[in-house]
């Protein structure tokens, strides 16, 4: 007597996605909000061949990515500085590289359901893959001229103008 195999609806959708358009266990796992190992076990359960690790885009190993210093924004001249301006609110920030995290906090306040790269590795991987920082779609990077002024204490302060 032949065995009857019962496939759940979720398993069937996972198999269809994997074999037709999304050959990545990680992306399918994100879509179904389960672990990628669970996706792999479902595929193996039904004898679906799993793509080898060599199928991914090669952009370097994690050590190379962590040590890379790609796209650090700096001003071309000593007389100018870089600021970022929010495309939605028009608010300007002095931290063009987001070292303080102020840009991340601003984005999360505006778009509370947004998924952003969580750690340095993911952010640098994004920079290497796309050639820009992850927050550039929300901000314009502007170069402003510096003006020297004096305070009552005699120390020079910098004021930024457009």
Q: 82 - beta bridge partners? A: 143
The model's pLDDT over 35-91, given as tens digits with 9 standing for 90+, comes to: 888 888 888 888 888 876 655 445 555 555 555 555 567 777 777 888 899 999 999
Mean pLDDT on 5-28: 82
Statement: residue 96 has pLDDT above 90: no
C-alpha distances out from residue 34 to 107, 140, 158, Å: 27, 36, 51
| Cα dihedral across residues 84, 105, 97, 114: positive or negative | negative
The model's pLDDT over 102-158, given as tens digits with 9 standing for 90+, comes to: 988 898 888 877 777 777 777 777 777 777 888 888 999 888 887 665 656 555 555
Name the band, by pLDDT with cuts 50, 70 and 90, for residue 161: low
Which residues, at least 6 apart from 122, have a Cβ–Cβ distance to it below 8 Å?
none
Determine the pLDDT at residue 88: 92
Domain range list for the chain: 9-55, 63-161
For residue 16, what is the enclosing H or E element?
helix 9-20
How would you list the strands of the sheet with 156-161, edge to edge?
A: 92-93, 80-86, 139-150, 156-161
For residue 93, what is the enclosing H or E element?
strand 92-93
């Amino acid at each position: 007597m032949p065995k009857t195999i019962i496939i759940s609806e979720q398993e069937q959708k996972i198999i269809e996605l994997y074999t037709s358009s999304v050959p990545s266990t990680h992306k399918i796992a994100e879509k179904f909000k389960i672990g990628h190992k669970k996706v792999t076990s479902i595929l193996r359960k039904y004898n679906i061949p799993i793509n080898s690790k060599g199928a991914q885009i090669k952009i370097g190993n994690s050590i190379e990515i962590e040590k890379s210093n790609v796209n650090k924004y700096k001003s071309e001249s000593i007389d100018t500085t870089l600021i970022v301006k929010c495309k939605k609110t028009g608010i300007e920030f002095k931290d063009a590289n987001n070292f303080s995290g102020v840009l991340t906090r601003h984005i999360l306040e505006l778009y509370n359901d947004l998924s952003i790269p969580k750690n340095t590795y993911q952010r640098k991987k994004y920079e290497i893959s796309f050639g820009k920082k992850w927050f550039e779609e929300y901000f314009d990077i502007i170069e402003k001229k510096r003006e020297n002024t004096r305070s009552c204490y005699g120390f020079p302060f910098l004021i930024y103008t457009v």
